[in-house]
Chains A and B, each alone.
Chain A
Amino acid sequence: MSNLEPFNPRGMLHDGWTSQVDDFAIACGWAKKGNIFLVGGSAGGLYAFNGSNGKSLWNKESSHQEGLLALDINPEGDNFATSGQDGAVRFWNSENGNELNFIDLGKGWVEHLCWSPDGKYLAIAFSRTVYVYSSTGKEIWKSEQHPSTVSALAWAKENELATACYGQVCFYDITQNKVNQKLEWRGSLVSMVISSNGDIVACGSQDNSVHFWRRSTGHDAEMTGYPGKPSNIAFDHTGKLLATGGSERVTVWSFEGNGPEGTIPGELGHHTEAVSSLSFANKSKLIASGSRDGSVVVSFLQNNGDGNPVGAAFSGNSISALAWKPDDCAIAAVNSKGKINIWNFKVRTE
């Protein structure tokens, strides 16, 4: 075994650029239509790179005292937001790293951030309270206290925000300040995604299951049997395929026809350790999965949830986040030792 040599990735993943930051990278994403790649580290470091060649543009050492918890890039603008253990939210210019706005919410952790699809609003989870701020840093809305710490945020529509916590998912109309719908279930919901048409909301649960509701009918169902808790879940852009982690496999449920109730999910078993990150391509049925074993696999899925790998690569340590470039021509991975890998994704065109 001693003459094993490193090899270039096969399939459709081609070496792009790599870089290294001196921290546990916890979040990443593309700004300015893919021209800028941003990375956030758990100690509070922020790093910006030229999206096509990896040249460092700027970096900040400690954006948040005690550490960074969330980073989210405004889908429409040039700016992004970060939050941390210091109870603060900061808005940044992604081109030069200038701080644009600052919100101090008090003592506590600001754990989740989520921009609305049109980039107008930023939803902020601060312990049991959720705030919505405008992109210019003005408070638009504030929730009542939730029964427990808010564990996930997602936008169902432009003005409709969903929050998940222990025991419930709640939908708020943030412009009318009212509750549109409350879905209750006695379990600790650890992750949440909403299908593109806003009808299906799916949550990973602490008790190693995935729970979903169809909002139009109020019908709900539970998928059990995961060996671990599905902290990572993702809907594809059509809202028909739900990919879930919770083990070393990616389990894909198809909402085609009468599914997924009573159907057998697709299983992608390409990792040796638990899945630690999942990301669907923006406009195709390609899913990238990252694992604690340091591997990244891109698989092409069929409508029934089955799929085949089309490329795989190794980043060396547990993958903490994945991000497809807006044009789907590259996939980025960051890991627990601060390694950044960008692979160009090439498909044959006729």
Chain B
Amino acid sequence: MTTDDQYDVVRLLEELAKLDAAEETVERALARTRAALMAAPPCRRTGLRLRSLRVALAAGLLLAAGVWGLTGWLARPGNSMFAAVQETMTHVYGVTYQVRPIRVSFASALPAKIMLLDERRSRSEDDRMIAVVDSKQRRIMQLDLKEKTATIIDYVDLPRVNEFDLIRNLKQGKVEQLPNREIDGKTVLCFRAQDDAGGGWSEERILLVDPATYLPVRIETTFTNAQGKEMMFGICDDFRYNVTLDESLFALTPPKGYRVTTRRQDPPPAQVVVPAKPISPEVRLEVRIAEDKPGPGLTEKIFGRPRSHVLLYLHGEVELSNPDFQSVSVSHSTMPPAYEVVFRLTPAGGKKMADLTNKNRGKQLVILVDGNVLFFPARIRSQISDSFSVSGGITKDEAERIVAGLQER
């Protein structure tokens, strides 16, 4: 303790204000809080003081619930709780679990051990085969332990990798909460998800979740054919979380002594849905940078629907505007199935964008039209130069509508 300045309280408080929390930690805290709120009894607040009036209101609500379909109405909190489970699952890695086919009618299947290292790498092992999947590289390595052969498949379409990822990405509208169940004397939350498995088949998943951690303890999957006959019933259990997994288990290099076959599944070319046209001078297209936290000179902007919206803190500078864009179009790519709004930049715009994305890695890139945020902001991970596309969760209609508004007529 030497100088007054060193211990100036304002300086110390300002230093304290710089103390931040990792995005992951914040998201986990929000998910847990949301889950705790959903599990909490409803608040007993009402402006109605008269008991008879409350009773009448309750009776009315019950009647309404009966008329509108009690099940669907009551399923809503379950969906929110399921959202909390999905959010918790999103932040957990180092996961291992067992898959046990119990009844299989159409093929032979062995119990397998599944390991998930991170959001892109997984490995499954059974007595005959090992499969390592890297969804980012779009590459699978299959090892036949008996034949000592390794098959490497590139650019493979990976619509579903494993049950865990499938549940993480399940649409909530397809999920309902069932009454709690007991496993080994412990009460667990129970959800049912039904989906179309293609070819007339349907799949049903029963997800049992530990109410303390909001993580699955068991997943029961049933596949049924078009005739309604059960074709497969399997169980995933023995879930372990935050396990330290050796990265070498997820390497895509075949072991020594294996005969290697390489296959390449070329991605189909993107199909142009709306041809490229210049940006209309009647719209004001802007690219700006946004921060995660408020700060001097930043403008707060809300984007998204209620309960899923985000707060953006936009910088005042317009980094790119109409003259920097050459054209906009919509294309459809089947890997992954997505409609993309493709922006092509002029040479000068491309240079600006390259500088911008190089200097602002980790920040959010926001596209605004007439001052309104157009897409969910993307975090800058790498340099963008002559063109970029926006695809996340956009339907064909949305993409066409957006582009129709942007293009010159």
Q: Do the two shown chains form a genuine complex with each other?
A: no
